[in-house]
Amino acid sequence: MTTANQHTVVDDTSVSALLERGRRLATPVLREAVDRLAPPMNTVAAYHFGWIDECGRPSEADGGKAVRPALALLSAEITGAPPETGLPGAVAVELVHNFSLLHDDLMDGDEQRRHRDTVWKVHGPAQAILVGDALFALANEILLEPGTSEAGRATRRLTRATRMLIDGQAQDISYEHREQVTVEECLEMEGNKTGALLACAVSIGAVLGGADDRTADALESYGYHLGLAFQAVDDLLGIWGDPEATGKQAWSDLRQRKKSLPVVAALASQEEAATRLAHLMRTDAKKTQEEFEDFDEAEFATRAALIEEAGGREWTSAEAQRQHTTALAALEPLDMPAHVREQLIALADFVVVRQR
Amino acid sequence: MTTANQHTVVDDTSVSALLERGRRLATPVLREAVDRLAPPMNTVAAYHFGWIDECGRPSEADGGKAVRPALALLSAEITGAPPETGLPGAVAVELVHNFSLLHDDLMDGDEQRRHRDTVWKVHGPAQAILVGDALFALANEILLEPGTSEAGRATRRLTRATRMLIDGQAQDISYEHREQVTVEECLEMEGNKTGALLACAVSIGAVLGGADDRTADALESYGYHLGLAFQAVDDLLGIWGDPEATGKQAWSDLRQRKKSLPVVAALASQEEAATRLAHLMRTDAKKTQEEFEDFDEAEFATRAALIEEAGGREWTSAEAQRQHTTALAALEPLDMPAHVREQLIALADFVVVRQR
């Protein structure tokens, strides 16, 4: 299955190495940070990150791609600084990301994340709230610790991104209860939920390395559009992804009745399929989640086909490409070492062709 | 009824004027800050602060004593700066305080605050989590906005206080499920939950006014012990407070089976009454909250009498006095305008004699 931009040749090795380096350098500092939490919050956080299992035994569960820490370290190199300069930023951004996962899983009632029970499911809602709060506070603590003016500037940017993240979750919740969501509203929500923190990750290392505001803003622009490209591909994979590759059920976003980009783009089209899709969705909305999940697989296939027929798949694929182009354009005027630029480009390419 | 230190003559007018000034200067800035939140979070926050009612109509509900903003403004005056210098600190501290109220009410299942339904009860758990998160982020945003090194230092102190606040809530939750809590553990928990943020309020204005770390640390010490004195009196009022004055039910902390200072101090004593109290509490622990609330009033009176007989009331009253003394001792070595010192002393005196 192709998602978008199937003709790009992507240097997968370089992206894997980048992500691997991010995990290798950031994880020890992240674990040290989490160790600062008073019990039982340290244990609950360690479970969330996949370092221990439900019984407290050491484990090596999937802790996520850790793309944000990798970006923050690369970000420091943009200024010619060593990647380690970006470490407090890498850890802070990863802490904020996980604060939002803990709270969002509870708000959304999601029982599984990365093939394991979510924190609220295992340790109860109070711990999910509390540990989320603690990770958010810890992010600021780690970032402000050096006491430099760069640290202050980095924290301002992280705070702005966090506010956008929260705005995005508020929009996501309110859209669930609405019959109609426009493509623009969906893009704004995805920009807040995914773009803002990736933007912060790509600029935070540079800020810690002494980059000026103009450079940081341009990097944020790259990261923001990279996030939107990432999310567009995510929305494609959420409907047409290969369950073997994604680790999710087939048609997973359709099962959750998510008003993702392909859906809202399809509904906005003038095609006859859009009318039929809208009619089905109005009927679907009256069903309980249990009734809905009992659907025959063919029902989901029908909806996916209508979305494709109305142009939702093609539009989203083109949108991923447009965001990819905008992201790369933001990099152009910036001075940076050639190997860093190559990696930022490789990462953007990877985002649009990934299968999971 | 007397709580502690009944012989002190307290200048109530000066304390009222200080609290009134805090509300007058901080509220407009606080409202402006809350207006930055995306809908529906701005409305939910406005309901929480008592500015609108459940239907969105303007209201002037009790928004709390607002002692923290008042302290933050006075704190700026310690350095000779005008009170307005402390405004970003006043608003940030009040935002963090309300972030913790929103989340704690949900975690604790509290349905009422200041005689009104709590946010999670009116707007649902997701909004309580989300708006709490937003107020926390907003606190950092407001405080870091000036971009000065003082702002960075103030944010570090606020972050540390917030982490202690979260630690305190974690301890509070875990103590609920334990049969025994020591006096030391209770004091540590109360120091985290009440002392840390008051400490931050008393130092944050001074930090924004350019105070050095030694001065800020001494002010934090005053605020921390002021908080412990405040909490000791709160614990006394929670059992023996006059319902007419406190606005709470008689024996309110006993109804909630809170292991507050008078209770843990009574249990720690060698008195025979302590043994009888411990026995009753073990039986009580087996009851559901509903069964427990159906108790005859005389049952609560019996428990209160046992706590008093075992010395819990007297110990807590003396503890309030000890914390009051320690708080004032921390102020002594500091240089500050005479009228500011007088107000800090009046406030400490007020805290230990208040009836509500």
What is the interface pTM, i.e. ipTM, of the complex?
0.94
Do B129 and A103 make contact, defined as CB atoms within 8 angstroms?
yes
Which residue of B129, B136, B156 is in closest CB contact with A107?
B129
Its domain, for residue A96, covers 12-353
Measured CA to CA in angstroms, residue B185 lies from B11, B181, B241, B264 at distances of 34, 6, 24, 10
Average pLDDT rounded to a whole number, residues A273-300 = 91
Distance between CA atoms of residues B61 and B3, nearest Å: 27
Cβ–Cβ contact B174 with A under 8 A: yes
Average pLDDT rounded to a whole number, residues A26-44 = 96
Lowest mean pLDDT among A91-95, A347-351, B83-87: A347-351
Does residue A26 fall inside a structural domain?
yes
Q: Considering only CA atoms, which of A96, A320, A65 is closest in space to residue A193? A: A96
In tens digits, chain B (356 residues) has pLDDT values of: 344 444 445 557 789 999 999 999 999 999 999 999 999 999 999 999 999 999 999 998 877 788 999 999 999 999 999 999 999 999 999 999 999 999 999 999 999 888 899 999 999 999 999 999 999 999 999 999 999 999 999 999 999 999 999 999 999 999 988 888 999 999 999 999 999 999 999 999 999 999 999 999 999 999 999 999 999 999 999 999 998 888 788 888 998 889 999 999 999 999 999 999 999 999 998 988 888 888 888 999 999 999 999 999 999 999 999 999 999 999 999 999 999 999 999 999 999 988 87
Distance between CA atoms of residues A162 and A155, nearest Å: 10
Which run of H or E residues covers position B112? strand B112-113
Helix (H, G, I), strand (E, B), or coil: what is residue A113?
strand
For residue A221, pLDDT over 90 is answered with yes
Closest-CA residue of A relative to B153 is: A147
Does residue A303 fall inside a structural domain?
yes
Cβ–Cβ contact B42 with A under 8 A: no
For residue A3, pLDDT over 70 is answered with no
pLDDT at B10: 57
Write the single-letter amino acid at B49. Answer: F
Does residue B278 fall inside a structural domain?
yes
Do B137 and A171 make contact, defined as CB atoms within 8 angstroms?
no
Measured CA to CA in angstroms, residue A334 lies from A74, A78, A197, A206, A220 at distances of 15, 9, 21, 12, 12
DSSP codes joined into one string, A206-228: HHHTT--HHHHHHHHHHHHHHHH
pLDDT at A178: 87
Cβ-Cβ contacts under 8 Å, B129 against chain A: 103, 106-107, 129
Cβ–Cβ contact A9 with B under 8 A: no
For residue A6, pLDDT over 60 is answered with no
Does residue B2 fall inside a structural domain?
no
The more confident residue out of A14 and A236 is A236
| Residue A141 distance to chain B (closest CA, Å) | 6
Cβ-Cβ contacts under 8 Å, B160 against chain A: 141
Cβ–Cβ contact A139 with B under 8 A: no
Which residue of B137, B138, B163 is in closest CB contact with A141?
B163
Cβ–Cβ contact A13 with B under 8 A: no
| Residue A299 distance to chain B (closest CA, Å) | 31
pLDDT at B11: 59
Could you read off the pLDDT of A298-320 as tens digits, one per residue? 999 999 999 999 999 999 999 99
Structure tokens at B205: 């204005």
Lowest mean pLDDT among A55-64, A145-154, A205-214: A55-64
For residue A1, pLDDT over 50 is answered with no
Does residue B5 fall inside a structural domain?
no
- Bridge partner list, B322: none
pLDDT at A65: 80
Does residue A4 fall inside a structural domain?
no
Could you read off the pLDDT of A146-170 as tens digits, one per residue? 999 999 999 999 999 999 999 999 9
Cβ–Cβ contact A305 with B under 8 A: no
Do A144 and B152 make contact, defined as CB atoms within 8 angstroms?
yes
pLDDT at B9: 52
Cβ–Cβ contact A155 with B under 8 A: yes
User: How far is Cα of residue A305 from the mean position of the Cα atoms in its chain?
Assistant: 26
Cβ-Cβ contacts under 8 Å, B176 against chain A: none
Q: Is the dihedral of CA B233, B236, B241, B247 positive or negative?
A: positive
Q: Does a cis peptide bond (omega within 30 degrees of 0) precede residue B40?
A: yes
pLDDT at B245: 83
Distance between CA atoms of residues B356 and B73, nearest Å: 23
pLDDT at A9: 52
Give A294's pLDDT tier (boundaries 50, 70, 90).
Answer: confident
pLDDT at B276: 97
Interface residue of A163, A189, A192, A212 to substitute, partner B, most B CBs within 10 Å: A163
Could you read off the pLDDT of A226-241 as tens digits, one per residue? 999 999 999 999 999 9
- Bridge partner list, B112: B117
The domain spanning residue B228 has which CATH number?
Answer: 1.10.600.10
Helix axis angle, B272-285 relative to B297-309, nearest 10°?
Answer: 140
pLDDT at A5: 43
- Specify whether the CB–CB gap between A205 and A90 falls below 8 A: yes
Distance between CA atoms of residues A286 and B300, nearest Å: 50
pLDDT at A8: 47
Interface residue of A104, A133, A157 to substitute, partner B, most B CBs within 10 Å: A133
Closest-CA residue of A relative to B108 is: A126
> How many domains, chain A?
1
Cβ–Cβ contact B213 with A under 8 A: no
- Bridge partner list, A129: none
CA neighbours closer than 13 Å in the CB half-sphere of residue A21: 17
Measured CA to CA in angstroms, residue B327 lies from A249, B154, B338 at distances of 60, 21, 17
- Bridge partner list, A116: A113
Cβ–Cβ contact B166 with A under 8 A: yes
Does residue B3 fall inside a structural domain?
no
**Cβ neighbour number for residue B289 with a 10 Å cutoff:** 11
Does residue A249 fall inside a structural domain?
yes
Neighbouring residues of A285: CB distance < 8 A, sequence distance ≥ 6: A179, A257
